Amino acid sequence: MKRTGYIQSLIFLIILNFSCDKIEQKKSDLTSIDLELVRENSFSEIFEEINYVLLKENDTLPLVQPLKTVVTDDFIYILDIKLNNLFKFNRKGEVIHIFNSSGQGPQEFSQIQDYQIKQDTVIIQDNLSNKLIYFDNDGRFLKETKLPSISTNFFKGVDFSFHFINGMEGKGKDFLKIKSPSQSNFINLNLSPPKGRVRLIHGFAEDKKSEIRTLTIPFSYQVVVFDPLGNILHLKEFEFLNLPELTEEEKKYLQVMIINAFLPFPEFYYMSVFFGRNSFQFLLDKNFNLLFSGKNPQNDIDGMNYPLLPISHHKDQLILYHPPEFTTFINRPQFQSKMTT
C-alpha cells in the first residue's frame, strides 16, 4: 500500500477521523469470525472526516522506504528502513529534523530496529550496535545503554522495559520484562516458533489515553494486549471462517496468515485483515465484542478510494499512506480543500 519514494515523489498521509456516535454495539463471540457474513461497507459508516498531509522531502536525504510511523499532536515520525534514518515532520508535512544513521561509535547508530517517542525523548533500538540510544526531540544526544537482549520490538514504561524476543533466545522466551538490572524475567506464552524474521509495521501500538498497548504476533492470528504496567491482559487468537478463495498467484506472493493491524483506541480496538485482495475491517470493544464489521470499503466521503491498510493511529484518527495512483487526484478541488497547510 505504501509507496517507496525518492526526492520528486509525493508521499501523503491520509488521516481518517472515526465517528464513534455512528457505531452501534452488537454482541458477538469472536472466537471465530465468519467472513461470509461480512458485507461491503462505505467510509461514512464509521468515519466522519478525511484530511491529507503532503510530506515534503529533504533535497539531499530522501525518504526511501517508510515503515513504522508515530503521530503525536505536533509531529509525525517516520522510520526509513532502507537508509535507517528517522524523519521528524510537523503536522504540515515539513521536515523538522532527521535522525541520521552515521556509524557504530559512541553517540551514533547504524540500524533502527525499532523506536519509541516517550514525552520529549526519542529512543532508538540499534540491534547491530547492541544498544538503545536516547536523543531529545531536537536530535541532541542524551545517553545510550546496552541492549539486554536482541529483540524485534521494545517499549519503555515508567519503571520497566519490555522486549519482544520472538524466539531469538530459544523456546519459551517470547518476551523479556526488565524492572532493574537485577530484576528481569522471560515470559513464555507458548507461541509457535517464528517462521522467519519480520518487521512489524506498528510494533507495540499504544493508546496514549489509557496507556494500553497491543502487539500482533507475526505469521499468526494472535494479538497480545498489555496494561500500563507491562502486564499481559489478553492473548487473543482469532479464527476466520469461509476465507475468500485465493488465486495461485495470491497464495504464492501474499502473506495470508497475518493480522495487518490491531490498534488500541480509547473506546475500542481496530483490526484490519487482508485475504488476497479483500480487505476486512473490524471494531471491537474492550471485551472483544463486535461493534462493526465491513469489507472492501468504498469512500463515499470524497470519492478517493484506497485500501484501508493503516500505518499508524492517533487519538480518534486512523492514518494511512497513499496508494501509487493517488497522485492523480492532487489537483481536484475537493482534494486541495482537505490538504493540511
- The per-residue pLDDT for 252 is 65
CA-only gyration radius of the chain, Å: 20
**CA–CA distance, 55 with 306 (Å, rounded to integer):** 18
Question: If you ran DSSP here, which 8-state letter would residue 120 be given?
Answer: T
Question: pLDDT tens digits, the chain, 341 residues: what are they?
Answer: 222 222 223 355 667 677 655 544 444 445 789 999 999 999 999 888 888 888 887 778 888 889 999 999 999 999 999 999 999 999 999 999 999 999 999 999 999 999 999 999 999 999 999 999 999 999 999 999 999 888 999 999 988 999 998 877 777 788 999 987 778 888 888 887 666 667 889 999 999 999 999 999 988 899 999 999 999 999 999 999 998 887 877 776 555 567 999 999 999 999 999 888 888 999 999 999 899 999 999 999 888 888 788 999 999 999 988 754 555 555 555 555 555 55
Q: What is the pLDDT of residue 58?
A: 78
Cα 38–chain centre separation: 24
Domain locations along the chain? 17-334
Amino acid sitting at position 197: R
How many beta carbons lie within 10 A of that of residue 150, not counting itself?
Answer: 15
Q: First and final CA of the chain: distance in angstroms? A: 24
pLDDT at 11: 52
* Assigned architecture for domain 17-334: 6 Propeller (2.120)
- Closest Cα to residue 114, out of 101, 127, 103? 127
- State the CB neighbour count (10 A cutoff) for residue 325: 11
The amino acid occupying position 117 is I
DSSP 8-state class, residue 22? G
d(CA 193, CA 174): 9
Predicted confidence at residue 126, as pLDDT, reads: 97
φ, ψ at 325 (rounded to 5°): -80, 0
Q: Which of 138, 110, 114 is nearest to 124 (CA)?
A: 114
Cα–Cα distances (Å) from 89 to 53, 66, 244, in that order, read 10, 13, 39
